[in-house]
Amino acid sequence: MPLLSRYSQADYSQEQYDIDKRIVKHSLFISGSLVVLLWLIKLFESEYGLDFSKWGIFPLVLKGLRGIIFSPLIHTSFEHLAANTIPLFVLTFSLFFFYRKSAYAIFVLIYLLSGCFVWLFGREALHIGASGIIYGLAAFLFLKGILSYNVRLLTISLIVALIYGYMFWGIFPVKPEISWESHLWGGISGFGLALLYHKSITPEPTAGEDNDENEDNDSENIEEEDTEPPPAKETNENSGTALL
């Protein structure tokens, strides 16, 4: 088929299968631990009547810089958190399974870059929630799979597009109470990293393949953001908090 002629499918050996099993466990641990951490933070906040929203990102205010680290961990309500849980889990798992060698670097960069851009270009409000990361992960997985010329990774791109394609509308200021800036800059960060890693990864052979195979066709074969749409990013207009 001409359309897929540039996309190669690597040989899948027993050794590859065993490696994938280990990577699945590792990816489940990372994505599961992240989700559990967010729920524990919200439960702690609710149990003791605390309000962590003040730790969100407040653009162009020095004190608001701390939100780059803390805002993805904070959600205004259990509904807000629940809406972000499934996409965050699925996309984080996919990143660590299909891009294991660079997954930590990509995740941290999306985490930090999306927050930095919101601090620089967001409107005056407290921005909290994990949707910026979710948009970044979805954008990275979508574009990187297309650029990799690999059937497995291309399949992930199509799945992300089909399941999370609705998120595209979240990057526009359709609703003033929604922190669309986090969606936009998360997505831009993900796309940018996909382009960067596509050009900078050095070809590296894997078991059962020739040394001159491109890494995007081999090593990433073993590599390892609300069920409700990002509308989970609601905003409390009275408090001036924009939810991601």
Convert the pLDDT of each residue in 161-216 to its tens digit: 888 888 887 787 777 667 789 999 999 999 999 999 876 543 344 444 444 444 44
Q: Report the mean per-residue pLDDT for the chain.
A: 81
> Which of the pair, 132 or 152, is modelled with greater confidence?
132
For helices 131-147 and 180-200, the axis angle rounded to 10 degrees is 30
Residue from 135, 140, 74, 70 nearest 105 by CA: 140
Class of domain 12-243: mainly alpha
> Which of the pair, 172 or 159, is modelled with greater confidence?
159
185 neighbors 114 (Cβ within 8 angstroms): yes
**pLDDT value for 120:** 97
**pLDDT value for 146:** 92
Can you spell out the DSSP letters for 122-170?
Answer: --SSEEESSHHHHHHHHHHHHHHHHHTTBHHHHHHHHHHHHHHGGGGGG
* Spatial distance between the Cα atoms of 41 and 170, rounded to a whole number of angstroms: 26
**pLDDT value for 22:** 93
Residue from 74, 126, 70 nearest 239 by CA: 126
Q: Is the pLDDT of residue 237 over 90?
A: no
* Spatial distance between the Cα atoms of 74 and 43, rounded to a whole number of angstroms: 11
Mean pLDDT of the region 140-147: 94
